[in-house]
Amino acid sequence: MNDRRRRGRSGRRPTRGPSDAGASGGEHLTEYRRRRDFSRTAEPKGREPADDSAPRFVVQIHDASSLHFDFRLESDGVLKSWAVPRGPSTDPGDKRLAVPTEDHPLDYRNFEGVIAEGEYGAGTVIIWDEGRWAFEGRGSAADALAGGHLSFRLDGHKLHGGWALTRFRQNAWLLVKRDDRHANDHGTPDPARARSARTDRTLRQTAADAAHASAVGDDDEADADPS
């Protein structure tokens, strides 16, 4: 797989579709919060309100019990989320399995780091891509998702142009790139070598930095102990 990175953004800013964001999304986050001990994980509880700009998306690489990509779209005040084992592909011929997961809070799009051992989803997370997205179709994105087919455009650092999510059975969707000028045969990068869109770090570098920060913190606490 190719690890080429597309850094450019198009100048077009998509507009927000009807019902693409809500006020808080709190009622959707019960399952997300139930699974996490926020005294042990740095993941956000979910406090960021929706804003008036175009809805956002994020693609995170998550080195948990299995290495996978998490694809998240802002809608109805939360991040609608899918685990994509092989990651989004820029090749329209690739149909990538996308398994829906619990809704995540909007501020999860900023999360990059290490989820502690023993916690749900324990492992390293990096932000592989992020940007704006726009619903394409009639009605609302929420209605399209409920109906099992969402057509949309992405304007990210690496992913651009038209895409579709289609449900083909219960709890199983396909994520497919539209055949447009942004399509190519590059496929998906090797997740172990892919770099964060924010920090340019790999998963391994992110984990090493977190371990170093933890060790420094432990040393500082030991130095401050008067006993």
Domain boundaries, the chain: 26-215
**Region 79-88 average pLDDT:** 98
pLDDT of 4 strictly over 60: no
Cα dihedral: 191, 194, 200, 202 (round 10): 50
The Cα–Cα gap between 161 and 155 comes to 7
Average pLDDT over residues 25-37: 77
Cα gap 178→92, rounded to integer Å:
6
Compute CA distances 96 → 30, 68, 165, 166, 179, whole Å: 28, 12, 10, 10, 15
Q: What is the mean pLDDT of residues 41-54?
A: 71
Q: What does the pLDDT read at residue 190?
A: 97
What is the rounded CA–CA span in Å between residue 121 and residue 12? 35
Question: H or E segment at 32?
Answer: helix 30-34
In contact, 60 and 111? CB cutoff 8 Å? yes
Type of residue numbered 61 = I
Q: CA 110, CA 116: separation in Å to the nearest integer?
A: 17
Indicate whether 224 pLDDT > 90: no
| Cα Rg of the chain, angstroms | 18
Q: How many helices (H) and strands (E) does the chain have?
A: 3, 9
Position 49 pLDDT exceeds 90: no
Percent of the chain with pLDDT over 90: 70
CA distance 159 to 90: 8
Give the integer Cα–Cα distance in Å for 87 and 32: 22
Is residue 168 scored above 90 in pLDDT?
A: yes
Percent of the chain with pLDDT over 70: 81
Please provide the average confidence, as pLDDT, over all residues in the chain.
Answer: 86
Tokens at 100, concatenated: 């829906």
Maximum mean pLDDT: which of 10-14, 24-28, 141-145: 141-145
